[in-house]
């Protein structure tokens, strides 16, 4: 390997930052320094020990095989496993329960959801100037009269509640009424199963990129190049001096020829007025302001043994709007303080190799409110909510352990993953505007941007983040003509 005398600072040691730096290192650029604000690497990959088990409170599954760079790197090494059972189309659907404890017919759920999915794939989406929620309403009302006339209207409304929540989670939005309709088809999914990490956790992909796997003896010598607890507060990128100066909250300063920024969109939004010196162009500012970083959190329960059926797809809680206030009156505290409970979409088996764990999902403003409440109260009230919905069919014991994620209140993330908004459409902004490098007064590209939010078609995914890191490494290698 020919070493190249160029210095690079990478801000953030998540999947994008590790991908960018390791690719540069393997191509001769070894004068690299990572500045990571957390006390660990991984970013929104966060594999932890919980009740003697290895779990992920961030990214968890390798979604699909085709065109998935994570799969392509990990599967040949024997690090990934598909689900140990396959579901039929009906079995893939969760059991949807109402607050009255009624289990909806899966056949009815399938029919309504099929109509919903058809709308999400309607070619008219590409020309609709508005939000996804309005587009769905426009199309669904017609289909309701013609294709779903035999299904009870209450059942339709319950399934719609689930479908809206499920797709808000997919889009990382508080509501489908803020998601761009025309951009909702930009995301390219990868065909295939959701693969698990055989009990090792998603952090495994970091070890693969750093060459710690499959043979630790071949690991890249990066230990002294990754500085933890280094929160960056200012980037001086167009001064009279050559290069870029990066300032940290602890008073330390670092200088490099190039900087690759991989922090979350939430951090860029929060620090938009102070992070960059000089300030950014109007187009770049609009990109940061108009794209959204939504919040999705996990609620993880361990039970002494499963009380749910084997090979089960999980339980979803569906509401009618007029039921929310009535049900929340059953909880201690005010209606306002318990409002977050209506954002708990349901609970689901977590992974094949951990049969005693259930995973709850909560999103949007509800997830943000949940983070402000004590862990004990969250556990108590989510279990109370579960018994309201499922108690007529199942005898539900107390969990023996509980934990949750808190992505919104962590100042180094301020959310989970990004979505395209109607506001960005109105400003004619796309993710390529966020990706665009900063050029100094000499016309040299000195600050590069990576991370899932900069990916035009793989945003909200680890494989998209990895691709973005490689993209910026390739850009820098091309600039240096390596």
Average pLDDT over residues 48-55: 92
What percent of the chain lies above the pLDDT cut of 90? 87
Chain-centre distance for alpha carbon 316 = 20
What is the architecture of the domain spanning 7-80+197-291+421-479?
A: 3-Layer(bba) Sandwich (3.50)
Reply yes or no on whether the pLDDT at 146 is more than 90: no
Reply yes or no on whether the pLDDT at 239 is more than 90: no
User: Alpha-carbon distance 461 to 453, whole Å?
Assistant: 9
Radius of gyration of the chain (CA): 23
Reply yes or no on whether the pLDDT at 91 is more than 90: no
Q: What is the model's pLDDT at position 481? A: 85
Q: What is the model's pLDDT at position 316? A: 97
What percent of the chain lies above the pLDDT cut of 70? 98
**pLDDT by residue (tens digit) across 52-81?**
889 999 999 999 999 999 999 999 999 999
Q: What is the model's pLDDT at position 352? A: 62
Reply yes or no on whether the pLDDT at 4 is more than 80: no
Reply yes or no on whether the pLDDT at 453 is more than 70: yes
Q: Considering only CA atoms, which of 201, 133, 191 is closest in space to residue 419?
A: 133
Reply yes or no on whether the pLDDT at 118 is more than 90: yes
Average pLDDT over residues 180-203: 94
Average pLDDT over residues 220-235: 97
Reply yes or no on whether the pLDDT at 240 is more than 70: no
User: Alpha-carbon distance 44 to 262, whole Å?
Assistant: 11
Q: What is the model's pLDDT at position 6? A: 86
Reply yes or no on whether the pLDDT at 84 is more than 80: no
User: Alpha-carbon distance 276 to 420, whole Å?
Assistant: 24
| Total Cβ atoms within 10 A of residue 126 | 12
Where residue 277 falls among pLDDT bands split at 50, 70, 90? very high
Where residue 475 falls among pLDDT bands split at 50, 70, 90? very high
**pLDDT by residue (tens digit) across 192-217?**
999 999 999 999 999 999 999 999 99
Reply yes or no on whether the pLDDT at 143 is more than 90: no
CATH 3.30.1280.10 at 294-404, yes or no = no
Q: What is the model's pLDDT at position 1? A: 66
* Chain region(s) in the chain for CATH 3.90.660.10: 294-404
Average pLDDT over residues 136-150: 86
* Chain region(s) in the chain for CATH 3.50.50.60: 7-80+197-291+421-479
Where residue 351 falls among pLDDT bands split at 50, 70, 90? low
Looking at 217-316, list the stretches that DSSP marks H as alpha helix, in order from N- to C-terminal side: 265-270, 282-290
| Total Cβ atoms within 10 A of residue 435 | 20
Looking at 295-371, list the stretches that DSSP marks H as alpha helix, in order from N- to C-terminal side: 321-328, 364-370
- Asked whether the beta carbons of 172 and 418 are under 8 A apart, the reply is yes
Reply yes or no on whether the pLDDT at 182 is more than 70: yes
**pLDDT by residue (tens digit) across 92-112?**
889 999 999 999 999 999 999
User: Alpha-carbon distance 162 to 167, whole Å?
Assistant: 8
User: Alpha-carbon distance 138 to 422, whole Å?
Assistant: 17
| 269 token code pair | 């939004």
């Amino acid at each position: 390997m020919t070493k190249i005398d160029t210095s690079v600072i990478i801000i953030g040691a998540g999947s994008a930052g590790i991908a960018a730096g390791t690719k540069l290192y393997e191509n001769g650029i070894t004068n690299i320094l990572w500045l990571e604000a957390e006390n660990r690497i991984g970013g929104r990959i966060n594999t932890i020990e919980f009740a003697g088990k290895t779990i992920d409170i961030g990214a968890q599954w390798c979604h699909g095989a085709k065109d998935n760079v994570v799969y392509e790197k990990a599967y040949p090494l024997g690090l990934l496993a598909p689900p140990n059972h396959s579901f039929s189309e009906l079995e893939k659907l969760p059991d949807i329960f109402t607050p009255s404890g009624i289990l909806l017919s899966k056949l009815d759920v399938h029919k309504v959801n099929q109509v919903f999915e058809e709308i999400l794939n309607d070619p008219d989406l590409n020309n609709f100037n508005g939000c996804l929620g309005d587009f769905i309403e426009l199309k669904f009302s017609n289909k309701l009269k013609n294709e779903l006339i035999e299904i009870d209207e209450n059942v339709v409304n319950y399934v719609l509640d689930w479908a809206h929540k499920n797709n808000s989670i997919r889009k990382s939005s508080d509501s489908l009424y803020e998601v761009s309709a025309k951009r909702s088809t930009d995301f390219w999914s990868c065909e295939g199963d959701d693969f698990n990490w055989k009990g090792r956790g998603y952090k495994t992909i970091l070890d693969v990129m750093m060459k710690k796997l499959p043979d630790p003896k071949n690991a890249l010598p990066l230990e002294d190049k990754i500085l933890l607890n280094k929160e960056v507060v200012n980037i001086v990128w167009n001064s009279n001096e050559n290069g870029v100066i990066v300032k940290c909250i602890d008073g330390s300063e670092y200088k490099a020829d190039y900087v690759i920024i991989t922090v979350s969109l939430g951090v860029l939004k929060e620090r938009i007025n102070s992070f960059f010196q000089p300030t950014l162009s109007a187009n770049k500012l609009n990109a940061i302001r108009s794209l959204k970083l939504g919040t999705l959190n996990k609620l993880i329960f361990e039970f002494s043994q499963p009380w749910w059926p084997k090979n089960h797809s999980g339980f979803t809680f569906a509401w009618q709007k007029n039921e929310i206030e009535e049900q929340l009156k059953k909880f201690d505290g005010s209606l306002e303080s318990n409002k977050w409970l209506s954002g708990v979409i349901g609970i689901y088996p977590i992974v094949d190799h951990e049969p005693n764990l259930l995973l709850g999902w909560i999103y949007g403003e509800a997830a943000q409110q949940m983070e402000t409440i004590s862990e004990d109260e969250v556990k108590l009230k989510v279990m109370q909510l579960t018994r309201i919905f499922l108690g007529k069919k199942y005898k539900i014991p107390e969990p023996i352990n509980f934990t949750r994620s808190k992505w919104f209140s962590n100042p180094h993330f301020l959310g989970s993953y990004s979505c395209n908004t109607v506001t960005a459409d109105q400003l004619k902004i796309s993710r390529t505007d966020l990706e665009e490098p900063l050029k100094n007064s000499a016309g040299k590209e000195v600050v590069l941007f990576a991370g899932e939010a900069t990916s035009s078609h793989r945003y909200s995914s680890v494989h998209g983040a990895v691709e973005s890191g490689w993209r910026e490494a390739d850009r820098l290698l091309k600039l240096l003509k390596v």
